[in-house]
């Protein structure tokens, strides 16, 4: 369990890492490494979800145990958090499907994309999968934009909750 007094530092480190991952994704994409750029952009979304979980844990420490533990062990858990918040922030994203169904669909797609954009793989039907295949070109820009939209939509209430918590803990 992370001590309450250490959450502040973790929240700030997550923010810095999200910014760095998004910047690195931009640079890699600009240099033509589109697959790795897309994977980093997806990892940035996961890292932002970790920040959200840390803030939620600070606000409600009695309910933080399992979510906080999963935030450091499960990429899928963080991706689910991020997808849920993204779809809630962009109401048109659900395309008429139930929220949980759309979250699962998006989480699965991003998880699969992340892995296939990092590693060479082989599929019996399509053959070799190159992380830098032509069809991932442009994917990093889209993913960076979605992550930035997620941050823009959630950061006002996250910051407010965070500062209320900080004020309570520093009194």
Which tens digits make up the pLDDT trace of 128-150?
A: 999 989 889 989 999 998 888 88
Confidence band of 46 (pLDDT split at 50, 70, 90): very high
Which pair of tokens denotes residue 134? 């032509």
pLDDT at site 57: 79
pTM comes to 0.84
How much of the chain exceeds pLDDT 90, in percent?
35
Q: Is residue 33 classed as helix, strand or coil in its secondary structure?
A: coil
Q: How far apart are CA 41 and CA 34, in angstroms?
A: 10
C-alpha closest to that of 162 among 3, 7, 19, 1: 7
**pLDDT(15) > 70:** yes
The whole-angstrom separation of Cα 126 and Cα 129 is 8
pLDDT in tens, 58-113: 777 666 667 777 777 888 888 888 888 888 777 665 566 777 888 888 898 999 99
Looking at the chain, the whole-number percentage of residues with pLDDT higher than 70 is: 87
Give the C-alpha separation, 38 to 116, whole Å. 10
Q: Are strands 121-123 and 127-129 parallel, antiparallel or unpaired?
A: antiparallel
- pLDDT, mean of residues 1-27: 90
The pLDDT value given to residue 91: 64
Q: What residue segments make up the domains of the chain, in order of their start?
A: 4-170
* Residue 73: strand, helix, or coil: coil
Average pLDDT, the chain: 85
Q: Taking the CB of residue 27, how many other CB atoms lie within 10 A of it?
A: 12
């Amino acid at each position: 369990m992370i001590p309450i007094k250490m959450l502040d530092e973790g929240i700030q480190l997550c923010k810095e890492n999200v910014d760095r991952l998004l910047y690195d994704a931009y640079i890699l994409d600009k240099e033509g490494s589109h697959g790795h750029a897309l994977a980093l952009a997806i990892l940035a979304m996961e890292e932002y979800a970790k920040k959200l979980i840390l803030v939620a844990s600070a606000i409600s420490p009695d309910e933080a145990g399992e979510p906080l533990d999963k935030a450091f062990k499960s990429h899928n858990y963080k991706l689910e958090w991020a997808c849920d918040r993204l779809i809630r922030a962009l109401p048109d994203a659900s395309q008429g499907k139930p929220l949980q169904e759309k979250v699962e669909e998006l989480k699965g797609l991003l998880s699969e994309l992340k892995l296939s954009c990092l590693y060479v793989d082989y599929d019996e039907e399509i053959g070799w999968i190159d992380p830098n295949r032509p069809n991932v070109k442009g994917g990093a820009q889209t993913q960076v934009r979605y992550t930035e939209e997620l941050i823009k939509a959630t950061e006002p209430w996250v910051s407010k909750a965070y500062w209320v918590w900080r004020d309570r803990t520093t009194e």
